[in-house]
């Protein structure tokens, strides 16, 4: 994310000593979720090792994630994932279940999260499969899987080939790990997730930190391309800024006769 291009264009190649020229300064940045519709599969581990506070804190984190995505769309908690984006819930233990399809109702998403209960083994391959099945291959929406787990694979086939196929299909994978009773292999999460690992993998040994991890990840997924960028443009002292045309976004002002901010 961030600034992807900047340029300066001048409308003439030469001027007389008392002539005028127009200079256009431009910045472009990667779009945020409000202008780049995104389908998100939130994949949640409900295996037996999640019983108790881990499950409770995961649910709180997942609902915080949904709220942040909701607000990022239109700067309001209006109960709808808007602008063409959607979220779906997949949970897994011995097998995986699509608890919702890709939907926009925040209330329905949170109800699906609240209804989860812990028990069984950990089948990551089926979790990835069910998440992939939520996406419409014909849709132009960006596709994101957020995988949360607290342990190693204990059921089903190896998940790495399924995750690799998802990435090859253009699906972005984020992994959140809790070092639970079954332990967790961070290298495995790094293998599943989209590169770079530093921005797509987060691990904590403390389930009380799960809400913060989900919060940070939601902010990362929905963040704008650039914010609060300030540029001071100084022209040669042989020239003088005579006027400023307001930009379509942001603001522009003359600091003095040779400096534009």
Cα of first residue to Cα of last residue in the chain, in angstroms, is: 23
Work out the average pLDDT over 105-116.
98
**Cα 213–Cα 121–Cα 64 angle in degrees, nearest 5:** 25
Q: What is the pLDDT of residues 60-88, one digit of tens each?
A: 999 999 999 998 877 677 899 988 999 99
Residue 256: both structure tokens together = 């003095």
Q: What is the pTM of this model?
A: 0.76
Whether the predicted pLDDT of 4 surpasses 70: no
| Percent of the chain whose pLDDT exceeds 70 | 92
Q: How confident is the model at residue 9 (pLDDT cuts 50, 70, 90)?
A: confident
Which has more pLDDT, 136 or 82? 136
Whether the predicted pLDDT of 148 surpasses 90: yes
Whether the predicted pLDDT of 96 surpasses 90: yes
Torsion of CA 27, 251, 38, 83, to 10 degrees: -140
Cα–Cα distance between 38 and 140 in angstroms, integer? Answer: 9
Backbone angles phi, psi at 70, to 5 degrees: -55, -50
Q: What is the pLDDT of residues 167-213, one digit of tens each?
A: 999 999 999 999 977 788 899 999 999 999 888 999 999 999 999 99
């Amino acid at each position: 994310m961030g600034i992807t291009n900047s340029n300066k264009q001048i409308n003439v190649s030469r001027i007389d000593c008392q002539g005028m020229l127009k200079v256009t300064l431009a910045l472009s940045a990667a779009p945020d979720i409000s202008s780049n519709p995104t389908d998100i599969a939130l994949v949640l581990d409900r295996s037996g090792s999640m019983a108790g506070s881990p499950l409770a804190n995961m649910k709180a984190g997942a609902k915080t994630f949904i709220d942040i995505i909701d607000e990022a769309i239109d700067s309001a908690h209006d109960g709808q994932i808007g602008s063409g984006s959607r979220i779906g819930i997949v949970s897994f233990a011995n097998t995986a279940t699509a608890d919702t399809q890709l939907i926009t109702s925040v209330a329905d998403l949170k109800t699906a999260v609240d209804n989860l209960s812990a028990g069984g083994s950990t089948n990551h391959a089926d979790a990835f499969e069910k998440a992939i099945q939520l996406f419409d291959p014909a849709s132009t929406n960006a596709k994101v899987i957020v995988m949360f787990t607290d342990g190693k694979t204990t059921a089903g086939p190896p998940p790495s080939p399924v995750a690799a196929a998802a990435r090859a299909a253009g699906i972005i994978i984020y992994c959140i790990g809790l070092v639970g009773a079954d332990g967790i292999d961070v290298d495995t999460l790094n293998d599943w997730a989209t590169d770079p690992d530093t921005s797509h993998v987060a691990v904590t040994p403390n389930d009380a930190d799960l809400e913060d991890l989900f919060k940070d990840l939601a902010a990362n997924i929905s963040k704008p391309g650039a914010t609060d960028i300030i540029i001071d443009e100084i022209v040669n002292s042989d020239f003088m800024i005579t006027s400023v045309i307001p930009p379509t976004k942001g603001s522009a002002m003359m600091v003095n006769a040779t400096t534009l901010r």
